[in-house]
Structure 1
Amino acid sequence: MRTIVVGTRQSQLALTQTGQVINALKQICELQALPFQFEIRKILTKGDQILDVTLSKVGGKGLFVKEIEQAMMDKEIDLAVHSMKDMPSELPEGLMTGAVPRRVDPRDALISRVGTTLDELPQGAKVGTSSLRRASQLKAYRPDLHIESIRGNIDSRLRKLETEGFDAIILAAAGLYRMGWEDRITSFLPVDICLPAVGQGALGIECREEDEEVRHLLSLYNDPDTAATVAAERSFLGSLNGGCQVPIGAFASLHNKEWGDETPEGGIRLTGMVGSPDGTVILKETASGERPHELGEQVAEMLRSRGAEEILSEVRG
């Protein structure tokens, strides 16, 4: 029986979602009579070591995956479970996304110390987020808010809400759901106010292209609808050469009535956003299509024609 070694970050959320993935793969193995067992390998990434600086200042996307990908290329691990929003738009040669399981709620969630929604927060409230994307859109919607950086794992950020004088913090709803902490959510930020990060709410299961056994197993776990919508978002991100260093958001839906969005049967609708860090400029465009990659490029080009490249160049410095 082959032991498939699964690489993961060491955070509580990463270990929890890796355990959930392994349980799902075990069920598939039982149903398909596949002779595999699983072992977890914890890997410390650069992003987990640097907690006192905003992600945009230390490299953004890739910070949470490079060491894991190296372990896979060195054949120390066989697959890796990533939060899709942490994955760069291009993978190293020889690696591939073997599965994108069904997405959970992609929205951002507001956790308020006194139970107030975004609209109800007092004038000048102090709101914590580690994301330029969130900060840009929040400042555009509520210019009076004081947005301050807050880093760390979900549990440490929830603690900082109580100990560091924040009125509220913004976290991805998906992580709270996966941890079973959804009762902490005060309200959800609608996607028309705050577009999520590319791939938010989705996992990416990465493996080696040459590993036929693992590729076959992961193909049975893949959710085609989620894979298609996330592919459109990632194509958009790649076309703009974006990452955590710049305020970019996107959300694609596929004949999906969840999360306050509805798309005509059969097509993907993608909305993309580029904003200035201070929220004074927010550019958004929406398009629909059948081909995820081309749709992502189309929305990127629509934004580029409105000056998105100049905003991004200025942010990158």
Structure 2
Amino acid sequence: MLLRVGSRGSRLALTQAERAADGLRRPGVEIALVPITTAGDRDRTSPFGEIGSRGVFVKELEEALLEGRIDVAVHSAKDMTAADADGLTVGAYPRREDPRDALCGADAIRPGMRIGTASARRRAQLLALEPTLSIEPLRGNVDTRLRKRGERGLDAIMLAACGLDRLGLSAEIGLRIDPDVMLPEAGQGALALQVRAGEEDLVARADHGETRARVEAERRCVALVGGGCLAPVAAFHDGSVLTGLIAHEDGAWLERRTGHDPATIAAELLSVAR
């Protein structure tokens, strides 16, 4: 049996796909990795709002699944839309890795720093922490953003810790930021193995139940709030409670709510949005 596993073509995406494939290999199953270029890969400079909304790294992989060109799509769970596309489902969430945001180039957030990130969520929370920061747009793959930090003379950049760990670049991290300080993107640190509905058995062996429960609660919360790449909205389940966040894009206000039910948290966040 040949299992065609689709992935974005970046070094990080292919590394993640290889890790996912390791969990799918078994006697009689051959894995073929299929790199696919997404809208977010083709345009590495424009703000996400000029390319599309949340899902700019997902759409082409989903189309390949629906058209039968691949059998499994490997996504960073944080890149997925809050709801599954019609006819598709997440058949497995492998065990989650470090969900935290990482500060690269410095070991602390200090007044007046210039920090690079393309994330509205990170921008809002950074400015809420320290209004004197200068947050500068920064896109590209991990290696590109690390290089641009030096080229542009930035004091630091923000990346997902898990991506740096997976690429063997943990030494670039000056500070892993606790979720109590900066709430991660819904699904950050987790991979999602998407399949056609009814074909979940292809990847079921790779599913980690606790990761699934946490990530789906986060995705549900964000979906109900209506957040995405352009909205400073976040959700994170630490294994005990679910925390949701909504903020002004410039950090002028920020609200968190904690509980167990995504719908209740989302309703509370929407009620206090200014």
TM-score range, shorter chain: over 0.9
Give the match for residue 117 of structure 2. Answer: 129
Distance in 1 separating the partners of 2:134 and 2:14: 33
1:25, distance to aligned residue in structure 2 (A)? 1.4
Give the match for residue 275 of structure 1. Answer: 247
- 2:8 is the alignment partner of 1:42: no
Q: Which runs of 5+ in 2 are unaligned?
A: none
Tell me if structure 2 keeps the 8 A contact 1:235–1:296: yes
1:124, distance to aligned residue in structure 2 (A)? 1.5
Distance in 2 separating the partners of 1:219 and 1:71: 20
Aligned residues: 274
Q: Which runs of 5+ in 1 are unaligned?
A: 255-262, 264-268, 289-294, 312-317
Q: Per-residue displacement from partner, 1:231-266 (whole Å, max 9, x unpaired)?
A: 110010110121101001111022xxxxxxxx3xxx
Aligned with 1:239 (options 224, 235, 241): 224
- 2:152 is the alignment partner of 1:160: no
Distance in 2 separating the partners of 1:103 and 1:167: 29
Tell me if structure 2 keeps the 8 A contact 1:271–1:287: yes
Kindly provide the amino acid, as one letter, of the partner of residue 80 in structure 1.
Answer: A
Aligned with 2:166 (options 178, 200, 204): 178
Question: What SS does the aligned partner of 2:238 have?
Answer: strand
Identity of aligned residues (%): 40
1:91, distance to aligned residue in structure 2 (A)? 1.5
Question: What SS does the aligned partner of 1:110 have?
Answer: strand
Distance in 1 separating the partners of 2:21 and 2:205: 13
Question: What SS does the aligned partner of 1:193 have?
Answer: coil
Give the match for residue 213 of structure 2. Answer: 228
Give the match for residue 11 of structure 2. Answer: 12
Distance in 2 separating the partners of 1:60 and 1:168: 26
Give the match for residue 258 of structure 1. Answer: none
Give the match for residue 210 of structure 1. Answer: 198
Aligned with 2:66 (options 73, 79, 91): 73
1:58, distance to aligned residue in structure 2 (A)? 2.5
Distance in 2 separating the partners of 1:92 and 1:197: 20
Distance in 1 separating the partners of 2:236 and 2:86: 27
Distance in 2 separating the partners of 1:55 and 1:298: 29
Give the match for residue 267 of structure 2. Answer: 301
**Structure 1 residues 11 and 168, CA gap change in structure 2 (3 angstroms):** same
Kindly provide the amino acid, as one letter, of the partner of residue 248 in structure 1.
Answer: V
Aligned with 1:102 (options 95, 98, 102): 95
Structure 1 segments, 4+ long, off by >6 Å, are none
Question: What SS does the aligned partner of 2:210 have?
Answer: helix
Distance in 2 separating the partners of 1:13 and 1:53: 20
Give the match for residue 51 of structure 1. Answer: 44
Kindly provide the amino acid, as one letter, of the partner of residue 255 in structure 2.
Answer: L
**Structure 1 residues 245 and 7, CA gap change in structure 2 (3 angstroms):** same
Question: What SS does the aligned partner of 1:117 have?
Answer: coil
Tell me if structure 2 keeps the 8 A contact 1:111–1:170: yes
Question: What SS does the aligned partner of 1:239 have?
Answer: helix
Structure having the higher Rg: 1
Kindly provide the amino acid, as one letter, of the partner of residue 55 in structure 1.
Answer: F
Distance in 1 separating the partners of 2:90 and 2:212: 10
TM norm structure 1: 0.84
Tell me if structure 1 keeps the 8 A contact 2:10–2:141: yes
1:198, distance to aligned residue in structure 2 (A)? 0.6
- Aligned CA RMSD, in angstroms, stands at 1.1
Tell me if structure 1 keeps the 8 A contact 2:23–2:205: no
Question: What SS does the aligned partner of 1:98 have?
Answer: strand
1:56, distance to aligned residue in structure 2 (A)? 3.5
Q: Per-residue displacement from partner, 1:210-244 (whole Å, max 9, x unpaired)?
A: 33xxx224211100000000011001011012110
Distance in 1 separating the partners of 2:85 and 2:175: 38
Tell me if structure 1 keeps the 8 A contact 2:39–2:51: no
Kindly provide the amino acid, as one letter, of the partner of residue 280 in structure 1.
Answer: A
Q: Per-residue displacement from partner, 1:53-92 (whole Å, max 9, x unpaired)?
A: 1223432311111111111101000001000000001122
Distance in 2 separating the partners of 1:111 and 1:60: 26
Distance in 1 separating the partners of 2:62 and 2:271: 35
1:298, distance to aligned residue in structure 2 (A)? 1.2
Distance in 1 separating the partners of 2:75 and 2:226: 20
